[in-house]
Amino acid sequence: MPASPTPAPTPTVTPPAPLTTDRLLLRAVHRGDLAAVTRLWTDPEVRHHLGGPVTEPVIRIRQRRIVGAAGCHAVIRAEDDVLLGLVTVEPGARNGETEVSYQFLPEHWGKGYAREAVGAVVARVLEGTPSVVALTQEANHRSRRLLEAVGLEHAESFVEWDARQVLYRIRRG
């Protein structure tokens, strides 16, 4: 009698390894982070260059998927354990290149937290991949300055999602 086919292994989701900087802890998203993360998805200022606030049905789906998700870093201020934002890494997301994206709550803007977190994540990603890209709207001058500050360079501009976009890239070495 032929053997039963072996079931395919269930893929495991490996949350990102924790990463620390002088002021921050970057770790997997925990259930206790969901209120702050939901604010990121619904805050009109945060979502201004990201297509607007996310709708309730999409929020429920995202909440189920984000806890412990691979590539999604909760950015935590080390001194008081406050969630400041998210930095996400998506291998192969844009024409085979690893894409880094980020969003931070407005009350934490202008303090260097995003630059510190994104810079640390980009450095880590470059240890294992030849390049990293990031995309922002041309009109998002703060985000463009942040990307340039962490070493990414303007690679191309184009229209996508009905807006002028700018792709930034950094290569290892």
Assign residue 53 the CATH number of its domain: 3.40.630.30
Can you tell me whether residue 93 is helix, strand or coil?
strand
Residue 32 lies in a domain: yes
Q: What's the CA gap between 26 and 16, in Å, rounded?
A: 9
**5 within some domain:** no
Tokens 């979502």 sit on residue: 47
pLDDT-derived band of residue 14, with 50, 70 and 90 as boundaries? low
Q: d(Cα 78, Cα 51) in Å, to the nearest integer?
A: 30
**pLDDT tens digits for range 72-128:** 999 999 999 999 999 999 998 889 999 999 999 999 999 999 999 999 999 999 999
**What domain count does the chain have?**
1
d(C-alpha 150, C-alpha 152), whole Å: 6
Q: What gap in Å lies between CA 109 and CA 93, rounded to an integer?
A: 26
Q: Is the dihedral of CA 168, 116, 114, 139 positive or negative?
A: negative
Highest mean pLDDT pick, 3-7, 61-65, 69-73, 146-150: 146-150
pLDDT tens, residue by residue, 126-155:
999 999 999 999 999 999 999 999 999 999
| Dihedral sign from CA coordinates of 114, 116, 121, 123 | positive
Q: Can you give the residue range of the structural domain that contains 32?
A: 19-171
Average pLDDT in the 62-71 region? 92
Can you give the pTM of this predicted structure? 0.88
The answer to whether residue 3 sits within a structural domain is no
